[in-house]
Amino acid sequence: MGGQIARLQSTHHRLLLDCRSQDRIVQSESFVEAWKIATKVQKVIALTYLNKILPIALKFWVSDVLSIGSLNQLNMLILRQLASSHQIKNYSRMSKLEIIKHIESKGVKFDSQNQLRLAQRSSERDAFNIDFLKDPETPNQY
């Protein structure tokens, strides 16, 4: 009986921390910026993350919405340097769109402070993957 109570308390505490984390994200300026430029589908995804209390996915959603199209603003010299640093083969023969496609496939993003970083890979990483929306019976992790 004591183990059950401890697990319930631990689960409740984790849920509370996730709620607080999610609240900080929603109150941030970057979330407001992302919401303003997000498409209708992207907003539905964000609302789903909010309802399911998934702060990590929501954080990546903000990052992804703010980064869309940013690699297109870079010139070919910088894109080729990025391709080289991320071991993309034959980048010198690729067009700008091909290089961008390969760079994005490596997880490189251009964040809101215009600094390149390697995006963290996780099961919740793809903020625009809406496959889970098709199955409303997806169990909550809590």
Distance CA 42, CA 37 (A): 9
Strand partners, 117: 109
120 φ, ψ (degrees, to nearest 5): -70, 135
Look at residue 61 and give its three-state secondary structure: helix
Mean pLDDT, rounded, for 14-19: 93
Which range, of 18-32, 33-47, 53-67, 68-82, averages the lowest pLDDT?
68-82
Percent over 70 (pLDDT), the chain: 72
Cβ contact 138:132 at 8 Å = yes
Mean pLDDT, rounded, for 113-127: 43
pTM of the predicted model as reported, rounded to 2 decimal places: 0.52
pLDDT at position 13: 93
114 φ, ψ (degrees, to nearest 5): 55, 40
Cα–Cα distances (Å) from 113 to 9, 63, 70, in that order, read 39, 11, 11
> For 47-77, what is each residue's pLDDT tens digit?
999 999 999 999 988 888 877 657 776 778 8
Q: What is the dihedral of CA 106, 121, 64, 35, to 10 degrees?
A: 170
Domain locations in the chain as residue ranges: 2-130
pLDDT at position 109: 63
